[in-house]
Amino acid sequence: MGRQRNSRLEAVMAEHGFTHQGLADEINRITARIFGENHPRKCTDHHVRRWISGEVRWP
């Protein structure tokens, strides 16, 4: 199955004023609150760009 741009994610980000890095930071903030500050996985703007481009369909 080919890539399909995630226009819904783009629209939600625009609606709420998130940049790629801003969304990654918010994801990291919430992840730290849920799983603790020492949670080994960190979201980056690169992850968000891959989600939007359709390269990755599931985070």
pTM over 0.75: yes
- State residue 1's pLDDT score: 64
Separation in Å, CA 22 to CA 3, 5, 8, 27, 48: 24, 20, 17, 9, 10
Domain ranges of the chain: 7-53
- State residue 37's pLDDT score: 86
pLDDT band at 41 (very low <50, low <70, confident <90, very high): confident
Residue type at position 13: M
